[in-house]
Structure 1
Amino acid sequence: MNADTNFSSFASAHATSSYTRSPEQQLLFRVRRRGEIIVLSARGQADAYTLPLWRQEVGKAVETAAAGRGALIVDTTRLEFLSLRTLAALAEDAERYRRDGVEICLVTPNPRIARLAGGDPRIVALPVCTTVVGALTSLQLHRQTERRPARPQPYRTPQITREDPETQHDRLLRESAWRN
């Protein structure tokens, strides 16, 4: 009987605590700058309840990134839960922000999320890396290739062909050889 009482009190306390928490308590953000690239780290649960907050914070980080070089890394390594809807919303927002010149990259060490992102047509265009360092490198390389002018074709020596064995040049060579 005591076990039932403990279980029911735990269940009611757990249910009450999760429903009374605000989105700001369930999902926390930290913004850092890595050179000219902004890193938005999220901690907690990114689900339908916290989706408006998620989009708001991503939007603020994009504004900060747009003032610099226009790149944002969304670091989800410390999330307890990332819903498919939140992931799709990030991909949707990333596409819109990319048209405005801000590149967004998702960081997740979870191979399931990476596989899901690669297989879902709504999310497939969102770049996904497993570490922040990998995302930084990827964005920096992408930026370098964008700014680099078209590479000139390698110099090739012209091919010299003889037109006629009796050209003026050949006659001059023969005459100079006879004189010597």
Structure 2
Amino acid sequence: MNPTSSSFLSCTLRSRDPGVQLSFRTHRRGDFVVLSARGEADAFTLPWWRHSVRAAAEVAATAGGVLIIDATRLDFLSLRTLAAVAWDADRYRRVGVQICLVSSDSRLTRLAGRHQQTARLLMCSSIVSAFSVLQLHKRAEPRSYPLPAVAAETEHDHHPARGSAPDLP
């Protein structure tokens, strides 16, 4: 076998595994979960990317509701992957998980801010700034407290025969 075909064969075999082109490390810092990514996040690795982000978001849901995706060590981040992060961030925001993408590429941040699908994605330029922004966000969140047992409504509280206000259509 000549060296060219051998080289091509090894490259082809290696590229068939998304885990070789893209790797993740998840760790916790207090209430925050940090998902660090390395490699290339493109169309080929998108299913692996989404699986890893969703798994980390599930951990964040039980840890304190914050996931920081550190993309500063990625060699490439496709716009399709960026849109997937934005979609997942919207989805998880509805269940109480805040997702922030960290990228030191200012062009990517500007581009994301201009596109309708990605404009709502929280992006920071460093892990430190992400921690600061998200810590402030957590402090500003309204807190809900359970109603005392005395104030809880019962079925007879709104019964029309007892003189309470009628139900509106």
Scaled by the length of structure 2, the TM-score of the pair is: 0.78
CA distance in 1: counterparts of 2:81 and 2:36, whole angstroms: 15
Residue identity opposite 1:60 in structure 2: A
Q: Does 1:112 align with 2:115?
A: no
Relative to structure 1, is the Cα distance of residues 115 and 19 closer, same or farther in structure 2, using a 3 angstrom cutoff? farther
- Alignment partner, residue 72 of structure 2: 77
- Alignment partner, residue 100 of structure 1: 95
CA distance in 2: counterparts of 1:96 and 1:18, whole angstroms: 35
Determine which structure has more spread, i.e. the larger CA radius of gyration.
Answer: 1
Q: Does 1:49 align with 2:75?
A: no
Q: Does 1:17 align with 2:11?
A: yes
> What is the aligned-residue RMSD (CA, Å)?
2.1
CA distance in 2: counterparts of 1:125 and 1:100, whole angstroms: 16
Q: Does 1:37 align with 2:53?
A: no
Deviation at 1:147, TM superposition (A): 3.7
Structure 1: gaps of 5 or more residues = 1-5, 150-180
CA distance in 1: counterparts of 2:128 and 2:55, whole angstroms: 22
Q: Does 1:124 align with 2:119?
A: yes
Q: Does 1:134 align with 2:129?
A: yes
Structure 2: gaps of 5 or more residues = 145-169
What do residues 13-45 of structure 1 show as CA deviations (whole Å, max 9, x unaligned)? 368515642100000000011111000000000
Correspondences of 1:144-155 after superposition (within 5 Å):
144-147=139-142
Q: What is the count of residue pairs matched by the alignment? A: 142
The partner residue of 2:53 within 51, 54, 58 is: 58
Report SS of the residue matched to 1:97: helix
Scaled by the length of structure 1, the TM-score of the pair is: 0.73
CA distance in 2: counterparts of 1:73 and 1:54, whole angstroms: 14
Report SS of the residue matched to 1:29: strand
Report SS of the residue matched to 1:74: strand
Contact 2:26/2:34 (8 A) holds in 1: yes
Greater than 2 Å deviation, 4+ residue runs: 12-16, 18-21
Deviation at 1:75, TM superposition (A): 0.4
